[in-house]
Amino acid sequence: MSELCLDETDNLNIHSLITIDMVNYEALKASVAKNGEVMVRLDTGEKIELHIHNVKFEDTTKEIVVDAGTETYWIGADRVSYYWIHKEGFGKE
């Protein structure tokens, strides 16, 4: 997404806008790549575990595609409320 605007010298500049959804999408994508496993909570309260071997990130639509074996989920990045790294031996209290 881009925005055209005039600066103080009346020169036309193009500024790229980065939305919160885009930042969350990129951060989540990087976290899965780095950690191999990430837990997400959707805006509905549902928790989904993402594994590097069963998740694909669609950069053009900013969707997260999860192959859960018998079902496939398409999740818009704007639906992810937050995410965390799931580590063995640590519990969320």
CATH for the stretch 19-84? 2.30.30.100
Q: Hey, where are the domains in the chain?
A: 19-84
- Where on the phi/psi map is residue 83: left (φ > 0), alpha (ψ -120 to 50), or beta? beta
User: Rounded distance, CA 39 to CA 47, Å?
Assistant: 7
What are the pLDDT digits (tens) for 11-33? 444 443 334 455 588 889 999 99
Is the model's pLDDT at 39 over the cut of 60? yes
Determine contact, residues 75/84, Cβ cutoff 8 Å. no
